[in-house]
Structure 1
Amino acid sequence: MNEEERLLEVRQLDILDTPPEKYLDELAEIASAICDTPVSLLSIVDKERQWFKANKGFNQTETPRTDSFCAHTLHHPNEVLVIEDPLNDVRFKDNPLVLKDPKIRFYAGAPLHTANGNVMGTLCIIDNKSKTITETQKKMLQLLAGQAMDYLEARKVMRRQDATIEHSSTRIKKLTDLSPGVIYQLELTPEDRLYFSFISKGISEVHPNLDPEELKVDAKICFGVVHPQDREMVQRSLQESAEKLKIWDIEYRIGTAGKEVSWHRAHAKPEKKPDGTVVWYGTFQDVTPQKKYIETLEQIIFDISHVLRRPVANMLGLTSALESEELNEEQIKLYTRHLKSVSEEMDTFVHKLSDDYSEIRLKFFSEKPEDNRPYPEKN
């Protein structure tokens, strides 16, 4: 037996100092009933102690390993250790548990062993009077110990899976909390109950006046922050998405009439559960900066196509006059002054467009104006 390997497997069970569990308590009760003993224990042998996970009729939760009967099973994983009278056994006659309370006079323990053959402890029965048990009773004790070990192994796997799931959930939550906008899972039941089964931390930034916990009970609260003129459209589009199971993708205004509004976008994919509940997996985002940016670009394009038309027409007229007329020196100077004036007007306007573009980039995208200015500064 490799004691370090055995202790590692004991630790991997993650069982030491945990509360009682009904299934293991019942196995101990059955062992006592089968063998007609007042005490039954499910013990785990640690480095310096034996600790009792299940305990029927014994007034201690653990004892030193040096006093342990169960420790004598560690080298015999497939044998039931039976001590019919410890006072007649040199290994146990001076044991404190024999000489003092509980004054053990009979012990039988079936090892709890892993697939590697390492013994974790025993399912044991104890009496305060000498006795014997039959081969059938010993076999039953082994079978119960096997059931207990299967339970402990399954418990270990489940706890590992739970830890993995919890770790993954924590990691996903951190990622969703850092994501721009809101990530959510929205559900609509056949009874017309609408609620968020999951909603990321971003909701507090996008909608600071909404309580995320309330939204997990009633998501229809969200409709109250939608602009009155867009509210019916949003409700209708969500209902249509539920009925046709098509992507929900809509832009709408947030705010009240007569006040400055912001623009939001909802995008989600719906699925239907067997019970008829429709579930959307999607995002909410504040798209106001993008909308403002597009509006600014559209205004710039309009200005280029309309405001620049006049100086360009003047310049074309002047160049045509220069080409068609015989001009003296004074006339040439006059036309040159006109051309310079028109050029300066165009230059001023182009730099204004550049400044407007840089300003909007700075305002909505936190970039430095000089990073976006396509023209050099005027001297």
Structure 2
Amino acid sequence: MDKLRVMISGGGTGGHIFPALAIADEIKARYPQAEFQFVGAQNKMEMEKVPQAGYPIEGLWISGLQRKLTIDNLSFPFKVLSSLAKSRKLIRKFKPDIAIGTGGFASGPLLWAAASKGVPCLIQEQNSFPGITNKLLSKKVARICVAYDKMERFFPKDKLVLTGNPLRKDLQTALPADAQVKEKLGLKPEWPTLLVLGGSLGARRINELISSELENLQKMELNIIWQCGKLYYDSLAAKHQNLPDHIKLQAFISDMREAYAASDIVISRSGANTLSELAVVGKAAILIPSPNVAEDHQTKNAEALSSKSAALLFKETRDSQELVALVQELLEAPQKQKDLQNNIQKLALPDAAASIVNEIESLLGHAG
């Protein structure tokens, strides 16, 4: 099976691209001679990220259906027909042994065409509430890998396998000692650390909440690592000049392993990959879901954790003072912190990429 031919589609956002690349890397580690063909949506971030990771990619003329009546919606049927035609052509040319979809616009036509041609298909759903593409594909594919329980509400039960979301490799080993990392980062080793995450671009509302309360947060004996995103860094750096050493305002965190190791409490959005990371590293988290995502899936992800006392849910419409009060409450309740850490860690599935590739092997009739 060294000459395995793998077609993968996933994109639109990092939440779909990262799992696709992690699955490809795991296949490549097992089958060094395997050949890959990624398929994405033209002008989306996968067209840049996938080649950077060393894999070839083809783009389809496809986009999502807008909720309002727009010119884009009028062209949608033509985009679907064009993408199905190109997908069939790519499948004929590449002759895949397996087709894998991790969500996003392009995976719909590609996996639909692959399944229609008799190619074994597997999809991976990152969220507790699936996207429309994976819901439509669930009837056609052979296997559905999920990250949450109770997904039989959305998918055929006999196709479901609980695997989790693939993680970055550096988080799969124990984190370094927190005091060591705090010292290295110039933080106060004896103080707890609040880690604020907003994704690589940043989260506007999280930044507003922290920015408006930074003075009050500074009054606490608390280190802060605040990743504000590249879109917001310049304006926030200009607003908050001469910050003390124990407050780090950064556009981007290049070493997430260190950031997690130093942190005691994390404030973040509730995207699927972030939640999988928080579970593996076992951190007390205050989740502020983004309302600007398809099907409001971040709120549903956060609710799935808060219902198991594995994280605290904080709606972004709430007042900034309430957020500070919640941080203060957690700092003064080490047992509550510990309970949140233990409960979220129970949900961790650190070997997701390996589990997904095991499913691919079983579909193809090969034992590992």
TM-score for the superposition, normalised by structure 2: 0.21
Which protein has greater RCO, CA pairs closer than 8 Å, 6+ apart?
Answer: 2
Tell me which structure has the larger Cα radius of gyration.
1
Identify, as 1 or 2, the structure richer in strand.
1
